[in-house]
């Protein structure tokens, strides 16, 4: 009977189970809902970050070029002829004469050459003073033509077509980074310059191109439109090299020793606790340590990638040690026993069996640690790497800055209209390097795991 | 096969099929243990074990879980050394040589006393490399041809060669459980050990694979001294000539397998064999 079944003790239990089931399903659904919400929020923020950075940064990869016919007018370029090698007895004399000639060339007012070509490009009858006219072209244009002349003195009297950079202010005006409705007092460029820029854009004298200068130039304050990341990138690469060369072998070796060889004692416990604590030390403290130890005691140069690299090494070591130990701890005891049971020594067990199976995880952890160091800014500020450096460091002992510090410096630049996009562009470059590193980590890991 | 039969009824018929008492009783003693104790930290796991293990015969250790049979087995090739806090006392001799002597190299000892574990644990490397590993680290093979010969003959002795000859370069972990265990046996044999310790080698295997391993053990005893820990009394009865019964860290009784199973002296042994404890 149906009623009998329902009223039987078994049915009552089934009802109780069913109602508790409903509660359990509900709590599971609530938990899932929170999980999805959390993921959606996290993803949302990441997307927001990327969209914002890209929206701001992409325009910075476009630069405005001025196509000019530059005439190397002998009246402006009034210098003695360039010395020829065969006119001198020794190489030293020739070098001295060349340098003297280059000094002479450098003293010329090359702005006049630029001004003349700008005036020539402007429509006939344009009334504009030379200062205003020159504000259209970036200040490095004069170095550009001077270097052309030094490289090739036969250009004297000739006219060549070249591209020079439009000034940062001109670029702001062209890209609309500055409100065109603002009054003269608030504009960075005088009215005639603004009018001429518009004419140049219309008649094709100014055109846009990809801003290779971001990748090929070093930082610049006098010519902001020409400011690039090359110096910072090189500084970062030097530091990464130092971190990889020092932190990876030391960290992995320390982890292997602690995990596989060190006797468990109070001392090793203490070391373990301290390593864990070191991983949590604020990075700026490592900067202070670097300044005190490497610069004050060892007298390593200030602002140099060697010091930055050493500081980042110290900072990355605990991360690598902890991650490597975690990977070693995860190796199944069966594998260790198998090796030891075969008569392998402890070292053979570690190097023949344990390390090969943990290699992918160690590699991933290492790359992630290095990537973390790559983005580190605070300690570098304390060892002087925030100095303005307009050169590519040829050695780790040269002054340099780093990508994240360059971002920090550009972020603080007074020409906000121009440097806001450029800062975002620098962030994009830094993110690209990081994504590349992480991509390499994922690729290597999946490849090595497949092989294992 | 008789091992597939249900509850064992121990008679001399169910004992090792080719068991012939005169076959082994006179075998010289290979391993001698005297008053072996093991402490794991404050806990004593073995209380003075003394036993003689004969050459080229199978000795099985039986007893309920936690009785110390595996612990004692691990003393014989000093695998307890690798356990944090383990302390071994007493004396174990292999051919009269104290294996816990300070000047004894444990690596050399383990080359002489091989071990097969409960769960098949081939290295995550190719079948060939698995077998070649021991000879390689001990410098046994002089050249590649030597090594090939060792690998093939070891696989043959372990009864695995025919099954894997076409895929020696494939990972050993891709084999079935029973094949993996035979690979582990081949790996142990490759070093040319005198003694092979087996710690419940069939407990993770199905009955068919178990039967194959048991046959293999029976063949191997002609050349090796084998000590096997087993949970299965049928297995002990089938493969071993000597049996030792452990209980709560004590060696209760040991002797010829036939005597232990048909005529146990000790009440505890009798209870265990009858299935009353364990």
Q: What is the CATH number of the domain that holds B132?
A: 3.40.50.300
Name every residue whose Cβ is closer than 8 Å to that of residue B69 and which is 6 or more positions away in sequence: B61, B62, B63, B229, B244, B246
- In this prediction, residues A176-188 reach a mean pLDDT of 87
Is the pLDDT at B9 greater than 60, yes or no?
A: no
The answer to whether residue B23 sits within a structural domain is no
Is a pLDDT exceeding 80 seen at residue B14? no
Q: Is B60 domain-assigned?
A: yes
Per-residue model confidence as pLDDT tens digits over A256-302: 999 988 888 899 899 999 999 998 899 999 999 999 999 999 999 98
DSSP H helices, A140-226, are 141-151, 168-175, 191-203, 213-216
Confidence of residue B65 (pLDDT cuts 50, 70, 90): confident
Q: Classify residue B276 by burial, with Cβ atoms within 10 Å: 0-12, 13-18, 19+.
A: exposed
pLDDT of B245 reads 93
Please, where are the H alpha helices in chain B?
A: 69-76, 106-112, 127-137, 144-157, 161-164, 177-190, 207-220, 233-239, 257-262, 267-273
Number of domains in chain B: 1
Q: What is the pLDDT of residues B191-227, one digit of tens each?
A: 989 999 999 999 888 888 899 899 999 989 999 999 9
Q: Is A337 on the interface with B (CB under 8 A)?
A: yes
Residue B20 has pLDDT above 50, yes or no: no
Residue A5, pLDDT score: 55
Which among A335, A343, A357 has CB closest to B107?
A343
**In the predicted model, is pLDDT for residue B90 greater than 70?**
yes
> What are the residue boundaries of the structural domains of chain A, listed by start?
61-210, 230-451
**Res B18: pLDDT:** 45
Partner-chain contact A340 B187, CB within 8 Å = no
pLDDT at residue A149, rounded to an integer: 92
**In this structure, is residue B172 part of a structural domain?**
yes
- pLDDT for res A312: 94
Dihedral Cα A139, A142, A147, A150, nearest 10 deg = -150
Beta-carbon separation of B107 and A264 below 8 A: no
- Which pLDDT belongs to residue A84? 85
What is the average per-residue pLDDT within A333-341? 91
- Å between A246 CA and nearest CA of chain B: 30
CA nearest B118 in A: which residue? A334
Chains A, B: CB pairs < 8 Å? 58
Contact A409, A388 (CB under 8 A): yes
How many Å apart are CA A8 and CA A10, to the nearest integer? 5
**What is the mean pLDDT of the segment spanning B92-108?**
90
With pLDDT > 90 as the criterion, what percentage of chain A qualifies? 55
Residue B7 confidence (pLDDT): 39
Say if domain A230-451 classifies as CATH 3.10.450.50.
no
- Asked if the structure places residue B12 within a domain, the reply is no
pLDDT at A3: 52
Is this prediction's pTM over 0.90?
no
B24 inside domain: no
Neighbours of A159 (CB within 10 A): 13
> Which domain, by its residues, includes B51?
29-273
What's the length of chain A?
Answer: 452
| Residue, of B32 and B275, whose pLDDT is higher | B32
**Taking all residues of chain A, what is their mean pLDDT, rounded to a whole number?**
90
The rounded mean pLDDT for chain B is 86
Tell me the per-residue pLDDT of A107-146, one tens digit each, with 9 for 90 and over: 989 999 999 999 988 888 888 898 999 999 999 999 999 9
**For residue B85, what pLDDT is reported?**
84
């Amino acid at each position: 009977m149906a009623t009998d079944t329902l009223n039987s003790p078994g049915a009552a239990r089934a009802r109780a189970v069913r109602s508790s089931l409903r509660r359990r399903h509900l709590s599971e659904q609530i938990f899932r809902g929170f999980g999805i919400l959390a993921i959606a929020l996290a993803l949302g923020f990441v997307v927001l970050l990327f969209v914002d950075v890209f929206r701001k940064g992409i325009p910075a990869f476009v630069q405005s070029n001025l196509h000019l016919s530059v005439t190397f007018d002998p009246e402006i370029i009034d210098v003695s002829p360039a010395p020829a090698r065969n006119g001198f007895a020794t190489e030293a004399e020739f070098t001295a004469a060349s340098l003297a000639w280059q000094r002479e060339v450098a003293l010329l007012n090359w702005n006049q050459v630029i001004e003349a070509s700008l005036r020539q490009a402007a429509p006939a009858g344009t009334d504009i003073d030379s200062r205003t006219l020159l504000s259209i072209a970036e200040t490095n244009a004069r170095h550009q033509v001077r270097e052309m002349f030094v490289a090739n003195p036969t250009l004297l009297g000739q006219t060549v077509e070249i591209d020079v950079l439009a000034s940062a202010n001109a670029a702001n005006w062209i890209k609309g980074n500055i409100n065109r409705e603002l009054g003269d007092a608030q504009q960075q460029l005088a009215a005639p310059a603004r009018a001429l820029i518009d004419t140049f854009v219309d008649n094709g004298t100014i055109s846009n191109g990809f801003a290779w200068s971001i990748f090929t130039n070093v930082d610049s304050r006098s010519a902001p439109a020409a400011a690039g990341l090359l110096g910072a990138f090189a500084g970062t690469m030097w530091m990464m090299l130092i971190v990889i060369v020092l932190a990876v072998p030391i960290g992995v070796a320390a982890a292997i020793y602690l995990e596989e060889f060190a006797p468990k004692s109070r001392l090793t416990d203490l070391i373990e606790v301290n390593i864990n604590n070191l991983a949590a030390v604020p990075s700026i403290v490592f900067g202070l340590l670097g300044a005190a130890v490497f610069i004050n005691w060892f007298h390593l140069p200030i602002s140099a990638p060697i010091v930055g690299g050493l500081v980042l090494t110290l900072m990355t070591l605990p991360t690598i040690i902890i991650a490597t130990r975690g990977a070693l701890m995860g190796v199944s005891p069966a594998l260790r026993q198998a090796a030891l049971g075969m008569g392998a020594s402890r070292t053979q067990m570690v190097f023949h069996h344990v390390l090969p199976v943990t290699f992918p995880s160690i590699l991933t952890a290492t790359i992630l640690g290095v990537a973390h160091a790559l983005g580190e800014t605070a300690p570098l500020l304390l060892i002087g790497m925030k100095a303005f450096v307009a050169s590519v460091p040829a050695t780790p002992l040269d002054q340099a800055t780093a990508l994240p510090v360059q971002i920090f410096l550009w972020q603080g630049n007074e020409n906000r209209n121009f440097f806001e996009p450029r800062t975002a562009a620098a962030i994009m470059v830094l993110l690209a390097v990081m994504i590349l590193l992480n991509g390499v980590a994922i690729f290597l890991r999946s490849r090595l795991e497949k092989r294992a | 096969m008789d091992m597939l039969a249900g509850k064992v009824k121990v008679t001399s018929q169910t004992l090792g099929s080719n068991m012939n008492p005169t076959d082994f009783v006179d075998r010289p003693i290979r391993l001698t243990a005297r008053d072996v104790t093991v402490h794991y930290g404050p806990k004593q796991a073995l209380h003075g074990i003394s036993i003689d293990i004969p050459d080229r015969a199978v000795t099985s250790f039986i007893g309920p879980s936690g009785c110390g049979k595996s612990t004692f087995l691990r003393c014989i090739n000093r695998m307890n050394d690798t356990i944090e806090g383990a302390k071994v006392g007493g004396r174990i001799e292999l051919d009269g040589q104290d294996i816990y002597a300070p000047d004894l190299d444990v690596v050399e000892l383990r080359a002489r006393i091989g071990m097969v574990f409960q769960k098949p644990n081939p290295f995550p490397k190719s079948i060939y490399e698995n077998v070649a590993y021991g000879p390689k680290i001990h410098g046994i093979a002089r050249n590649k041809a030597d090594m090939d010969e060792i690998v093939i003959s070891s696989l043959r002795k372990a009864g695995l060669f025919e099954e894997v000859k076409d895929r020696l370069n494939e990972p050993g972990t891709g084999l079935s459980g029973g094949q993996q265990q035979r690979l582990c046996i081949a790996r142990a044999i490759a070093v040319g050990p005198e003694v092979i310790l087996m710690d419940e080698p069939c407990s993770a295997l199905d009955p068919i694979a178990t039967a194959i391993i048991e046959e293999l053990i029976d063949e191997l005893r002609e050349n090796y001294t084998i000590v096997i820990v087993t949970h299965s009394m049928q297995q002990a009865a089938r493969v071993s000539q000597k049996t030792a019964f452990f209980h709560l860290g004590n060696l209760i009784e040991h002797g010829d397998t036939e005597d232990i199973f048909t005529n146990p002296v000790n009440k505890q042994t009798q209870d265990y064999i009858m299935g009353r404890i364990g």
